[in-house]
Structure 1
Amino acid sequence: MSISATTARPTVVTAAFWLWIASAAIGLIGFAVSFPSVVAATQSLSGPMAGGAMVGSVAGAIIGAAIRVVFAIFLLRGANWARIVLTVLGAIIVLSLLVSIITGNVLAILELLAVVAAVVLQWLSSAKPFFRRA
């Protein structure tokens, strides 16, 4: 879905886009900070399983951030389906961050705030006309 010629992109959509980008960056930084814990946890595994677990963790963090960025780009272009997918993804992210938030992880709290703010902004009434079909 592309933007119609008469519907300009609302500021709230642009802000939601940048919050999704920020949440992806914060998520990657949080993973990098916690990487020594990942390494320690995988040391109990033997042989190829340890290497596979580390590679899987790194790949998961990178792919998770890339997914947010790609869907955020579609959001910025006015794709309503991307807004829905990002909302579901946001709920999953919030649930996955709950333990980190309870322990007082500052990066997790920042990531949570960015995700929640992005979801709220992309559903404000001022954003609705931007996502309507032409």
Structure 2
Amino acid sequence: MTIPNDDSKPDQPATDGVVPPTPDAAGSVPPAAAPEQPVTPPAPAAPDATYPPAPPAPPAAYPPAPPAAGAPGAFPAYAATPAAPVAAPAGPPSLVNTAFWLYIAAAALSVISGIVTIISVSSTRASIIEQLKNTDGVKTNGLSFEQLADASIAGVTVLSIITLIFWAVVFVLFAFFMRRGANWARIVLTVITVLSLVNIPWGFFAGALQVIAAIVATVLIWLKPSSAYFAAVKASKAPRA
């Protein structure tokens, strides 16, 4: 027998197994809990476009690079063998020493020649005055013959002193450098010897001896043993390889 539905009671909705909330003591019904949302996994990060892609691997057709120095299997590096040092000569040869003393003698003869020239010119004062008096048309510019003679003697004396000091200092100075093996000093002494030829007419006997000594010394420093000495000194001062 079927019991009809009671119209005085409202129909209960179907809960599909969910228990409806129970009213509390005040008669209010709490809100139903929201159903749980499914958890979505995070999306993978996009690749950074600022970095370029890795270069492709080199083809296998190229041979591998040789091992670096010091790496296992590398060939040892051998340093170049330094050149053997050239020993400087123990001392100048006899020809260079002889030339050195001849240049010193030329310097001394230059001083003697200058002193002789000064004395000779000073002793000719009277003859110079007499020659000026006997010469017609001499322009004295308001000076007496004695004053003209004294001026001429003073000029010759100063020139002689300068000349003797120059030749003495030059010969001695460059002779020392030459004996030490300086080739440039040998060249300078050669030029000075050529220039000293002008002393022959003015240097009397001592001046002629000075020129002869300088010429002989110059010939000696250009002979083969002397040239070998200068070349050896130059090679010993050259930078090593």
- The question of a shared fold, defined as TM-score above 0.5 by the shorter chain, is answered with yes
How far the C-alpha of 1:33 sits from its partner, in A, is 1.1
Distance in 2 separating the partners of 1:29 and 1:127: 29
> Is contact 1:86–1:119 with CA below 8 Å preserved after alignment?
yes
Q: 1:44 aligns with which of 148, 173, 193?
A: 148
Q: Which has the larger radius of gyration?
A: 2
> Is contact 1:20–1:69 with CA below 8 Å preserved after alignment?
yes
How far the C-alpha of 1:75 sits from its partner, in A, is 0.5
How far the C-alpha of 1:126 sits from its partner, in A, is 0.8
Runs of 4+ in 1 over 3 A off after TM superposition: 37-41, 49-57
Is residue 2:220 matched to residue 1:121?
yes
Task: Kindly provide the amino acid, as one letter, of the partner of residue 221 in structure 2.
Answer: Q
Structure 2 portions without partners, runs of 5+:
1-86, 129-146, 236-241
> Is contact 2:117–2:160 with CA below 8 Å preserved after alignment?
no
Q: 1:80 to 1:106 in 2, by over 3 A?
A: same
Distance in 2 separating the partners of 1:109 and 1:59: 18
TM-score normalised per structure 1: 0.78
Distance in 1 separating the partners of 2:188 and 2:230: 14
**Deviations 1:31-63, CA, capped at 9 Å, x for gaps:** 11111245458x63777x976764453233213
* Number of equivalences: 125
Percent identity among equivalent residues? 37
Q: How does 1:102-117 map to 2 (within 5 A)?
A: 105-117=204-216
The equivalent of 2:110 in structure 1 is: 27
> Is contact 2:114–2:163 with CA below 8 Å preserved after alignment?
no
Is residue 2:157 matched to residue 1:74?
no
Structure 1 portions without partners, runs of 5+:
none
Q: 1:117 to 1:81 in 2, by over 3 A?
A: same
How far the C-alpha of 1:69 sits from its partner, in A, is 0.3
Q: 2:193 aligns with which of 65, 90, 107?
A: 90
For structure 1, which segment, 110-119 or 6-15, has the greater mean C-alpha deviation from structure 2 after superposition? 6-15
Identify, as 1 or 2, the structure richer in helix: 1
- Bigger relative contact order, structure 1 or 2 (CA pairs below 8 A, ≥6 apart): 1
How far the C-alpha of 1:122 sits from its partner, in A, is 0.6
Distance in 2 separating the partners of 1:100 and 1:66: 19
The equivalent of 2:59 in structure 1 is: none
TM-score normalised per structure 2: 0.46
> Is contact 1:75–1:83 with CA below 8 Å preserved after alignment?
yes
**Deviations 1:68-125, CA, capped at 9 Å, x for gaps:** 100000001100000000000000002x134248xxx322232122011100001010
The equivalent of 1:131 in structure 2 is: 230
Q: 1:46 to 1:32 in 2, by over 3 A?
A: closer
The equivalent of 1:13 in structure 2 is: 96
